[in-house]
Structure 1
Amino acid sequence: MKYVIGLMSGTSLDGVDAALIRTDGERIAEFGVGETRDYGKAERAVLQAAVDTALAWNFQGEMPDFSAAAAVLTASHAELVEAVIAEAGLTAGQISLVGFHGQTVLHRAPAGRQQGRTCQIGDGQALADRLGVDVVYDFRSPDMAGGGQGAPLAPLYHAALVAQGQLELPLAVVNLGGVANVTWLAPDTDPIAFDTGPANGLIDAWCQQRLGTSHDSNGELAARGKIDPAALKALMKHPFFAKAPPKSLDRWDFSLDPVQHLGDADGAATLTAFTARTVAAAIDQLGQPGRILATGGGRHNPVLMRMMGEAMGVRPEAVERVGWRGDLLEAEAFAWLAARVAAGLPTSIPSTTGVSRPTCGGLIAHPRS
C-alpha cells in the first residue's frame, strides 16, 4: 500500500482537485486529505486562451506552443500537492506517486479507421522535479494508440469502490462534469462505460454568455424557465447520439445555437433537460439499474437531479449516500490509476473505452537530482 496523491482539473476551468489515498492499485486502504484550489482570474484566462488556441488548431499542422499555460497549470498543481502533504502531516518522501491528469484542451474521438487524438497540457517532469516525487501523467494517449476513445478513465475506479463497498448490482454511476459519462456495473460482466453527452458544459457556457456567471447555482435559473420543445428536439438531433458505444466527447463538440433565440431562464431549463434526457437515454440502452449514483458538480444542481429522475424513473442519489467523496472522486481515481500504472495493471479495458485489449496507460517522470 502506497500513499498516492491524485490531481484533476476539469474542462470547466474552475480549479484543481487533489486527493490523498493509500492504495496498491486494487484496494483502497485509506482515504486521506482532499483539497480544492480555485484558479485565479489571470490563471483561468491563460488556460481558456490555451483551449481557444487548441480548438483553432484542431490537430491540423504544427502543434501550438502551450508552454505558458502548462507552466501556470503545473505550478498551481504543485502548490496544491504541497498543501495536501502538509495538511496530512506527511513529507514528500512518504508520497510514492502523484497522478497528474493535466488539462484537456482538445479531444477528438476515433472516427472510422482514423485513430483518435487527445491533448492534455501540463509538464509531468517539471512537477516531479519540484515535488521530488514520481509523477504519472499522460494517461489517455496509450489507450488511444490502442484504438480506444481515451475516455472515460474513472470507470475501473468506480468498479473498485463498488466491489469494496459490496454494493448491490446492477448499478449505474453517472459523472456530471463538463461532459457526462456513465459506468454500468452488473453481476458477472466487465464494467461498461461511455460519454453520454453534455452535463454542465453547455449550461455553464450559457450562464457565462448571458449572465457573466460561472454556472447555474442550485439550478435557480433553470427553475424559473420553461423547456422549449423545438429547441430540445434540435439539440437531440446531434449525430453523437446515433453512435453506438464506446464513444467519447470534447466539451466543445456541442453548440448553444439551438437555444440562442430563447430567454435566459428558458435556455437554461432547456439545456438542463437536454443533459437529463441524454443521460436517461444512455442508461436505458444498458438496462434498468437498481440504483443510480451521481458524482461531479452536476449532483449539486437539484433541478438537473430532478429532471434526471423524471426521465429515468429512478431518482439519482449523490455518491455521498454511499460514503464516497463526490467532489474528490476523479482526483482519487487518478491517484488509484497512477498506482496501477506503477504496478503494470490495466487502466482501461475494451468495454470502458473500446481499446483493443486491456491497456496500462501513463508515463512516469522521476525527479531529476
Structure 2
Amino acid sequence: MRVLGFMTGTSLDAVDMAVLETDGEAIQAFGPAGERKLGEPVRDLVVEATLQALKWERGAPPPEIFAETARAVAEEHLAAAEDFLAAHGLTWAELDLIGMHGQTVLHERPDNGAIGRSVQLGDAQWLADRTGVPVAWDFRSADVAAGGEGAPLAPVYHLARARASGLEPPLAVLNLGGVANITFWSGGEAISAFDTGPGNGMIDLLVQDRGAGRFDDKGRYASVGKPQEAVLRALLAHPYFEAPAPKSLDRYDFSLEPLAKCELEDAAATLVAFTAEAVRLGLELVGETPREVIVTGGGRHNPEIMKALAARLPCPVTTAEDHGWRGDSIEAEASAYLAARILRGLPISFPKTTGVAEPMTGGRIARPSSEGASDA
C-alpha cells in the first residue's frame, strides 16, 4: 500500500513527510520526502501546550489548550501535505493510508509501579475527513497502558530499513532528535532500543534561554567553547543513567541549572559532550559493540556532536546519507511504516524496545466520516 507518513519533532522545526510503499513488513519502494517549516503561531501554541502539559496533574482533565493545539497541528499537516503532494504529482486519492504521529507535548516514563503518560496532539479524525484517507494515529497509548515506556517506536522500522539496504548485524542506528535513542540489531529479528539521553533538545533550550537563537546552527557556539568537566560529571550523575533498559525520556527531564554559571559557548560544548557520553554509556549498557553506528535525525547536522561521537564511541560513526538513507526523513518514513503495521494488526512495540511483556499492536485508525471511525 502507498502510505504518507508525518512527523513533527520536539524541536518544533518542521512537518516532515515521506511516502512509502509497504505492507508493514518489507519496503517495496521509497516515494518522495520533504518538509515544511512550522508556522510561528503553531509553534507558539505547541510551546504553550507543552508548558501546560508539564503542570498537568494526574487525574485532572486535560488542559483545554490540547484540543485547540490538536486541530492546529492537523491543519498544519494538511497544508504541508497539499503543497508536498502537488509538487510531486500526487493526489490524496492515490494514497491508501496516512500515518500521523502527532506533536509530543508530554512524555513521562513509568515510575514505581505507576504507568507512564505520553501525549501526542493531532486531530486525526479531522485530517481523515478532509483528505478522504484513513489516518493511523495514537501510536503510543496502548503500550503505555500496558506498562511500557511508549518509546522508542522507530526500532522496527530501523530494522526494515537496514535490511532494505543489505546491511549486516551487529548494527546500531542512533536517532539524534530532541532526545537521542538507539536501536541495536544483534541479528535475526532481535532488536533492542532505548533513549540514551539528550540529543539536540537541551542545546536548543540553552540557546533559546540565552536569547541566542533557536538552535546552535552548525555547532558554532560549541565549536569555540570548552566542555566543563565538573558540570558534565554533574549531568551524568542523573539516576537515569543507572536505570536498566528499556527506558525513555522527555526532553525536559534534564535541567539546564548546572550550566547556569557557564558562558554560552562552554555550556554548548558541555552539552555536546553530554550527548556523546550518554550514547557511549548506552552502548556499554547494550554490552556488544556494533559494526558501526548510523546517525539519523537533525543532530547529525551539528558537526560538533558528530566529532564528539566519533571521539568517544568504540566503533565507526557514519551518517544516514553514507548508506543512501534520507536522514531527515527517517522518522516520517517510520510513521508510514508503523501506520501500515497498525492497519494490519502487526506489533509495533516489543519487550526489548519499550519493556512491554510481549510484542504489542497499537494505534488507532480514524476513517473518513462516511465510513465511521474505528480502533485498529
TM-score band, normalised by the shorter chain?
Answer: over 0.9
**Partner residue of 2:322?**
321
**Partner residue of 1:18?**
17
For the residue of structure 2 that corresponds to 1:253, the secondary structure is: coil
Distance 1:89 1:223 in 2: 42
Residues 135 and 367 in structure 2, CA contact (< 8 A), matched pair in contact too? yes
Distance 1:196 1:58 in 2: 27
Distance 2:284 2:222 in 1: 25
| Amino acid in structure 2 at the alignment position of 1:83 | D
Distance 1:10 1:217 in 2: 17
Tell me the CA shift for residue 183 of structure 1.
Answer: 0.2
Tell me the CA shift for residue 62 of structure 1.
Answer: 1.9
Map residues 90-129 of structure 1 onto 2, 5 A cutoff: 90-129=90-129
**Partner residue of 1:246?**
246
Whether 2:17 is the aligned partner of 1:36: answer no
Map residues 109-258 of structure 1 onto 2, 5 A cutoff: 109-188=109-188, 190-258=190-258
Distance 2:29 2:164 in 1: 12
Distance 2:206 2:114 in 1: 32
Distance 2:212 2:74 in 1: 27
Residues 246 and 353 in structure 1, CA contact (< 8 A), matched pair in contact too? yes
Map residues 266-281 of structure 1 onto 2, 5 A cutoff: 266-281=266-281
| Amino acid in structure 1 at the alignment position of 2:281 | A
Map residues 50-65 of structure 1 onto 2, 5 A cutoff: 50-65=49-64
Residues 58 and 106 in structure 1, CA contact (< 8 A), matched pair in contact too? no
Distance 1:24 1:168 in 2: 22
In structure 2, the CA distance between the partners of 1:352 and 1:68, relative to structure 1 (3 Å rule), is: same
Distance 2:188 2:130 in 1: 44
So what's the TM-score if we normalise by structure 1?
Answer: 0.97
Give unmatched runs, 5+ long, in structure 2: 371-376
**Partner residue of 2:48?**
49
Tell me the CA shift for residue 201 of structure 1.
Answer: 0.8
Q: Give the % identical residues.
A: 47
Residues 22 and 29 in structure 1, CA contact (< 8 A), matched pair in contact too? yes
- RMSD of aligned alpha carbons: 1.2
In structure 2, the CA distance between the partners of 1:289 and 1:179, relative to structure 1 (3 Å rule), is: same
Tell me the CA shift for residue 112 of structure 1.
Answer: 2.6
For the residue of structure 1 that corresponds to 2:28, the secondary structure is: strand
| Cα deviation 1:10-66 (Å, max 9, x = unaligned) | 111112101111111111111111121111222211110111111111435221111
Distance 1:319 1:9 in 2: 19
Distance 2:90 2:326 in 1: 21
Distance 1:240 1:277 in 2: 13
Residues 291 and 316 in structure 2, CA contact (< 8 A), matched pair in contact too? no
| Cα deviation 1:128-148 (Å, max 9, x = unaligned) | 001110000000001112221
Distance 1:137 1:245 in 2: 26
**Partner residue of 2:306?**
305
Distance 2:262 2:360 in 1: 45
| Amino acid in structure 2 at the alignment position of 1:38 | K
For the residue of structure 2 that corresponds to 1:191, the secondary structure is: strand
Tell me the CA shift for residue 85 of structure 1.
Answer: 2.4
Distance 2:162 2:314 in 1: 22
| Cα deviation 1:297-321 (Å, max 9, x = unaligned) | 1111111111111111324111111
Tell me the CA shift for residue 187 of structure 1.
Answer: 2.0
Tell me the CA shift for residue 90 of structure 1.
Answer: 2.4
Give unmatched runs, 5+ long, in structure 1: none
Bigger mean CA offset, 33-42 vs 149-158 = 33-42
Number of aligned residues: 368
For the residue of structure 2 that corresponds to 1:142, the secondary structure is: helix
Tell me the CA shift for residue 95 of structure 1.
Answer: 0.5
Residues 116 and 149 in structure 1, CA contact (< 8 A), matched pair in contact too? yes
